[in-house]
Amino acid sequence: MRPDLITIDDVLAAQRRLEDIAQRTPVEVSRAVSKFIGLETVLKCEHLQRTGSFKIRGAYNRISRLSADERARGVVCASAGNHAQGVALSASLLGVASTVFMPTTAPLPKIEATRSYGAHIELVGATFDDAFEASQKWAADNDAVFVHPFDHPDVIAGQGTVGLEILEQVPEAGSVIVPMGGGGLIAGVAAVAKARRPEIKVIGVEAAGAAAFQASLDAGRPVPLTDVSTIADGIAVKAPGELTLAHVAEHVDEVVTVTDEEIARAVLLLVERAKQVVEPSGAAGLAALLNAKAVCPEPVVVLLCGGNVDPLLLTRIIQSGLFEEGRYLMLRTRVTDRPGSLAALLTLLADAGANILAVEHHRLGTRLGILEVEVALELETRGQQHIEELIALLRAERYPVA
């Protein structure tokens, strides 16, 4: 039997509870992104929400509805980071003790932020599902209330308040693109969209390495993946919930997947063109739009749902993206081992407009002549054509390039 779906009245009630708690996050018509994609694109900046994601909406709505006895017993949850922060802050605001189970692989900034909101943290296992299992056992052993990250009507209704804001801020929206892991966010947004604007197209986006929904939709029940692997830790879930799956089956028009490489390019585009710092899971919707994964009526609202990115991961994404776009070049060449040879090479490259980031100088190597030195270079370049010009110049000047 299909579980009961939430209604627009449930979401409106959640909006009233969240009035002084959740921020009304802005939308931004990004000319740069729209021009790059070729479609009128509006960014819903939910990554600017308190705790850096939409999760506080569902968490607060759920905890605020607990009885006095339930609050006294405390709450517990499992999360890779964003739900953890939402539960921790919501519980603190309501005077409720919280325990949060997180995988040992959770980004350090998310762990520290959760702790700063007053939660007791337990690090368990390598995946969200390991933490989830441990949290379920702890809840049973300690008679605590489990706050599910997505599969509960109060959580879904809370996340649905994002949909209310989108329809108020962009009433002419033709389509909405929503990242999806367990499905709580898209379940709520889609329920609101179809209740208010049945013609609007709702598109869900999964990471290819954690695409749990399509097989579950085909089977008509949650089908767990054997494993997940993606840089988008916020949507790395092995299986949807029964309730979220029912909402997606009823309200979502299309579900598509994006690769980690596509997500990384979307993160870089947001940093470079839109001046928005968004975590990989939060950028999955834009990745789908960038790679034409679905037909999207204009204007397209892309929900940027999280901004809690590990700075180390962001650095790697930016470096990888610069390499892919021809903005970064690594090469090896050889020079004669005499004074001035390295300086001559570096001057040649500088005069050709290359910014030299790093130089390694090696005198020993099986392919080197007795009077040769190998030089490894990292260069900042202006694009693929510039790279081709630099390589052609080096070879014309009799520098071998590898």
C-beta of residue 297 within 8 angstroms of C-beta of residue 248: no
For tokens 């819903």, what's the residue? 44
pLDDT of 1 strictly over 70: no
Whole-angstrom distance, CA of residue 12 vs CA of residue 22 = 14
Mean pLDDT of the region 104-128: 89
Which residue spans of the chain are classified as CATH 3.40.50.1100? 8-54+152-321, 56-146
C-beta of residue 18 within 8 angstroms of C-beta of residue 10: no
Average pLDDT over the chain reads 92
Mean pLDDT of the region 247-260: 97
% of the chain residues with pLDDT over 90: 74
% of the chain residues with pLDDT over 70: 98
C-beta of residue 296 within 8 angstroms of C-beta of residue 203: yes
Fold held by 326-396: Alpha-Beta Plaits (3.30.70)
What is the tens place of the pLDDT at every residue in 282-314?
A: 999 999 999 999 999 999 999 999 999 888 888
Whole-angstrom distance, CA of residue 69 vs CA of residue 67 = 5
Which residue spans of the chain are classified as CATH 3.30.70.260? 326-396
pLDDT at 327 (0 to 100): 82
Q: DSSP alpha helices (H): ranges in 94-183?
A: 108-116, 128-142, 153-169
What is the tens place of the pLDDT at every residue in 193-212?
A: 999 999 999 999 999 999 99
Whole-angstrom distance, CA of residue 95 vs CA of residue 90 = 9
Where b means 16+ CB within 10 Å and e means fewer, 189-213 reads bbbbbbbbbeebbbbbbbbbbbbbb
Distances (CA, A) of 340 to 47, 135, 165, 350, 355: 52, 64, 64, 15, 19
Fold held by 8-54+152-321: Rossmann fold (3.40.50)
Mean pLDDT of the region 128-144: 91
Yes or no: is domain 56-146 CATH 3.40.50.1100? yes
pLDDT of 55 strictly over 70: yes
Least confident of 6-10, 215-219, 359-363, 392-396: 359-363
Handedness of CA 100, 227, 208, 126 (dihedral sign): positive
pLDDT at 320 (0 to 100): 79
pLDDT of 128 strictly over 90: no
pLDDT at 311 (0 to 100): 87
pLDDT of 366 strictly over 70: no
C-beta of residue 275 within 8 angstroms of C-beta of residue 45: no
What is the tens place of the pLDDT at every residue in 303-348?
A: 999 999 888 888 888 887 777 777 888 899 988 888 898 999 999 9
What is the tens place of the pLDDT at every residue in 5-31?
A: 999 999 999 999 999 999 999 999 988
Angle at 239 between CA 292 and CA 201, to 5 degrees: 35
pLDDT at 363 (0 to 100): 67
Mean pLDDT of the region 269-294: 94
Q: DSSP alpha helices (H): ranges in 143-241?
A: 153-169, 184-196, 213-219
pLDDT of 73 strictly over 90: yes
Half-sphere exposure of 164 (CA within 13 A, CB side): 22
pLDDT of 114 strictly over 90: yes
